[in-house]
Amino acid sequence: MNQAASELYQSTVLDHNRSPRGYGELSGTTHSAEGFNPICGDRVKIQVIVGQGAIKEIKFTAQCCALCRASASVLTEVMGGQPLSFAKSLSLSFQSFIQGDAQPAADLAKSAASAFFAIKDYPARAKCVLLPWHTLSSSLTDQLTVSTEPKE
Amino acid sequence: MTRLAPNGVLDVKALRGEFPVLARDIRGKRLSYLDSAATTLKPLCVINAVDRYYRHGTANIHRAVHLLSEEATGLYEATRTAACQLLNAADEREVVFTTGTTGSINLVARSFVKPRLKAGDEILLTGMEHHANIVPWQMICEETGAKIIVAAINDDGSLDLASFKKLIGPRTKFISCVWISNALGVINPIKEMIDAANAAGVPILIDAAQAVAHVPIDVQTLGADFLAFSGHKLFGPTGVGVLWGKLQHLDAMPPMLGGGDMIKTVTFEKTVYADAPAKFEAGTPDIAAVIGLGEAIRFVTEDVGFKAIHSHEESLRNKAEAALRDVVNLKIIGTAEPKLPIFSIVMGNIHPHDVGSILDSYGVAIRTGHHCTQPLMARFGVQATSRASFSIYNNEEDIENLVKALWKTQELFA
Ligand SMILES: Cc1ncc(COP(=O)(O)O)c(C=O)c1O
């Protein structure tokens, strides 16, 4: 594989795409949201059970590209069981690293999410990776749908 | 300078030298530009014509007696002559410069069609239209209570011509249809469609956005009422296009934009509009782009020619089709002939955006998505496809690179 493709589609990413973790529906969800990218048609649904200030369970369903699916899978893996405060700061760090100038927080850099860091150099695909993360954030703030594009 | 070899065949190697972008290195790879249906690359002669206007002769047109303005006006109007010849129009006044196909269609919708519509009237389109040939009609339908009727597309991507003809009825007030599908490359039986419209006395517009760089156009033989194209799909600059319309229609149409250059006299009580085409060209147009388009028309008709284009593109189509047929798990949507070398590809469950990214990493530039034809995508039950579209400067190496990168994509996601 050549360099650009191997940066974007690292083995972790391919593996999560092939056998996504946390895929499916939850019952007894306390928070959920759907994310949609109208540009490419990607759709993600994130369902969460929050209790005692932590994400007790998290699952997703999706119709989307490999980057988006792998990102959602990694998201459920790194967020499961974590305190809400950790989930929020990790999300924030990921988003501001990918779309801004911020350095990744230490927790983020050593998490599986670091497999997506190369996306920073491919802005056209950054939305694919970020969609599940945006969707989780909005579910936690009880916004029911989220779009990668501005509201009309 | 001619780009044909002595035997009349396109000298692709020499031709490629005319397109500076082809010399670019894309992430360390040779560029295989297979996105000409979105926009064609620009030859040096066009780039130079635009550069010359800014560098050597900037002036506004139709407004001053000084030398620079006279030169600019001359070059601008020379493009009208060139476009008139390109389309074999009967009269130069039938050639209106617009911002592109989208601008042309909107002008006809607003100025020609809307005043004729009442509730219950119908506008006939086909199921393979670009959004540019759907949304303007929806907008005027919403305002008038008219409605859009859509002719069906067959499983092979061809138009169901019988259904198209049957849908033309007493309520049909206008027909607008694409000549060549940008998403599938399928070429519609445009002459039969126009004849059917004429027989019913219904005016018809042809969206020639994809046709203009690939097939010769003769509006007098075709017999349509309007035809639209964009300069940037004909090796010309962005920002300019053409609306050709029958003079009697253009004369009857009110202007859409008011302003300078479209008047005979103005007082605060009343303005007398100029005649077509000036009536539709209010304000300072994209003069450089119009001049560039003139050079692009010269390039395509004199240096290359549609006969050589056709034989080169047919050869590319046959070779690409054969090579793509061997790739496992690959389906092409839109196989009906005749068609251009445009391939709308679906690869099993692999999302087109992943295909696009992997291909990009091999220097292969394709378009992924719905190609501004969402209803057509829905017709074939997909959200999106990966589209490879070829043009005169493509060669067998591009086909090889495409196929190789598609195989790599398969391996990666297997
Ligand atoms: C068939 C067709 N119609 C209309 C358009 C719109 O052209 P433009 O965006 O240049 O106005 C396109 C361009 O993609 C096209 O392919």
The answer as to whether B98 is a domain residue is yes
Contact B371, B346 (CB under 8 A): no
Q: Is the CB of B209 under 6 A from ligand 1?
A: yes
User: How many folded domains does chain B comprise?
Assistant: 2
Q: What letter represents residue A102's amino acid?
A: A
Please choose from B106, B131, B182, B371 the residue to mutate so as to test ligand 1's pocket, defined by most ligand atoms within 8 A of CB. Answer: B182
Cβ count near A152 (within 10 Å): 4
Indicate yes or no: CB of B354 within 8 angstroms of CB of A14. no
Q: Report which of B316, B309, B328 is spatially closest to residue B392, judged by C-alpha positions.
A: B309
Q: Cα separation of B315 and B318, whole Å?
A: 5
Q: Is the CB of B126 under 6 A from ligand 1?
A: no
> Tokens at residue A33, please?
């949201």
User: Best of A9, A39, A64 to disrupt the B interface by mutation (most B CBs within 10 Å)?
Assistant: A9
Q: Pseudo-torsion of CA B134, B135, B141, B142, nearest 10°?
A: 150
* Closest ligand 1 atom, residue B103 Cα: 11
Assess whether B28 and B115 both reside in one domain: no
Rounded to the nearest angstrom, the gap between the alpha carbon of residue A131 and the centroid of all alpha carbons in its chain is: 6
The domain boundary, picked from B302, B318, B335, lies at B302
Those residues with Cβ within 8 angstroms of residue B325's Cβ, 6 or more apart along the chain or in another chain: none
The answer as to whether B1 is a domain residue is no
Any idea how long chain A is? 152
Q: Cα separation of B189 and B363, whole Å?
A: 35
pLDDT band at B375 (very low <50, low <70, confident <90, very high): very high
Assess whether B254 and B360 both reside in one domain: no
Assess whether B30 and B132 both reside in one domain: no
Domains belonging to chain A, first-starting first, are: 3-147 (3.90.1010.10)
The answer as to whether B346 is a domain residue is yes
Question: What is the rounded radius of gyration, in angstroms, for the C-alpha atoms of chain B?
Answer: 22
Residue whose tokens read 């291909």: B359
Residue whose tokens read 């499961």: A80
The answer as to whether B7 is a domain residue is no
**How wide is the angle at C-alpha B275 spanned by C-alphas B274 and B278, nearest 5°?**
70
Which structural domain, as residue segments, surrounds residue B145? 48-302
Assess whether B33 and B58 both reside in one domain: no
**How wide is the angle at C-alpha B302 spanned by C-alphas B297 and B304, nearest 5°?**
95
Q: Are strands B122-126 and B342-347 parallel, antiparallel or unpaired?
A: unpaired
B53 lies within 8 A of chain A by CB: no
Indicate yes or no: CB of B361 within 8 angstroms of CB of A4. yes
Chain B residues lying within 8 Å of A125, measured CB to CB = 353, 357
No. of helices (H) and no. of strands (E), chain A? 6, 4
Please choose from B98, B210, B293 the residue to mutate so as to test ligand 1's pocket, defined by most ligand atoms within 8 A of CB. Answer: B210
> Tokens at residue B50, please?
């635009």
Contact A114, A56 (CB under 8 A): no
Chain A residues lying within 8 Å of B27, measured CB to CB = 2-4
A95 three-state secondary structure: helix
Name residue B342's beta-bridge partners. Answer: B389
Q: What is the pLDDT of residues B261-276, one digit of tens each?
A: 888 888 888 888 999 9
Buried b (16+ CB within 10 A) or exposed e, A73-112: bbbbbbbbebebeebeebbebbbebbeeeeebbeebeebb
Assess whether B219 and B195 both reside in one domain: yes
* Closest ligand 1 atom, residue B100 Cα: 11
B412 vs B207, B349, B358, B364, CA distance in Å?
Answer: 39, 13, 9, 17
Assess whether B218 and B345 both reside in one domain: no
- Measure CB to CB from residue B353 to each of A4, A17, A128 and give the nearest one: A128
pLDDT band at B414 (very low <50, low <70, confident <90, very high): confident
ipTM of the complex: 0.86
Indicate yes or no: CB of B370 within 8 angstroms of CB of A125. no
Assess whether B318 and B184 both reside in one domain: no
Burial of B7 (0-12, 13-18, 19+ CB in 10 A): exposed
Spell out the per-residue pLDDT of chain A, length 152, in tens: 677 778 889 899 999 999 999 999 999 999 999 999 887 778 999 999 999 999 999 999 999 999 999 999 999 999 999 999 999 899 999 999 998 888 898 989 999 999 999 998 888 899 999 999 999 999 988 665 666 665 44
CATH code assigned at B32: 3.90.1150.10
Q: Is the CB of B132 under 6 A from ligand 1?
A: yes
Residue A5 distance to chain B (closest CA, Å): 6
Please choose from B372, B376, B389 the residue to mutate so as to test ligand 1's pocket, defined by most ligand atoms within 8 A of CB. Answer: B372
Q: What is the pLDDT of residues B150-166, one digit of tens each?
A: 999 999 999 999 999 99
The answer as to whether B58 is a domain residue is yes
Q: Cα separation of A112 and B20, whole Å?
A: 42
The answer as to whether B76 is a domain residue is yes
Q: Is the CB of B188 under 6 A from ligand 1?
A: no
Which are the catalytic amino acids of B?
372
Buried b (16+ CB within 10 A) or exposed e, B338-353: ebbbbbbbbbeebbbb
Q: What is the pLDDT of residues B45-90, one digit of tens each?
A: 999 999 999 999 999 998 888 999 999 999 999 999 999 999 999 9
Assess whether B17 and B163 both reside in one domain: no
Work out whether the CA dihedral B124, B126, B127, B130 comes out positive or negative: negative
Q: What rounded mean pLDDT belongs to chain B?
A: 96
Q: Report which of B349, B339, B337, B348 is spatially closest to residue B388, judged by C-alpha positions.
A: B339
The domain boundary, picked from B240, B272, B302, lies at B302
Indicate yes or no: CB of B408 within 8 angstroms of CB of A17. no
Contact B233, B367 (CB under 8 A): no
Assess whether B358 and B274 both reside in one domain: no
Q: Is the CB of B207 under 6 A from ligand 1?
A: yes
Q: Are strands B330-333 and B342-347 parallel, antiparallel or unpaired?
A: antiparallel
The answer as to whether B56 is a domain residue is yes
Q: Is the CB of B102 under 6 A from ligand 1?
A: yes
The answer as to whether B3 is a domain residue is no
Helix axis angle for A11-18 and A66-79, nearest 10°, is: 90
E-strand stretches of B67-128: 95-98, 122-126
Q: What is the pLDDT of residues B322-366, one digit of tens each?
A: 999 999 999 999 999 999 999 999 999 999 999 999 999 999 999
CATH code assigned at B240: 3.40.640.10
Cα distance between the two ends of chain A: 41
Range 355-374 of B in CB contact (< 8 A) with A: 357-358, 360-362, 368-370
Assess whether B226 and B100 both reside in one domain: yes
The domain boundary, picked from B276, B302, B328, lies at B302
Assess whether B190 and B324 both reside in one domain: no
Residue A43 distance to chain B (closest CA, Å): 11
Assess whether B118 and B61 both reside in one domain: yes
Indicate yes or no: CB of B361 within 8 angstroms of CB of A64. no
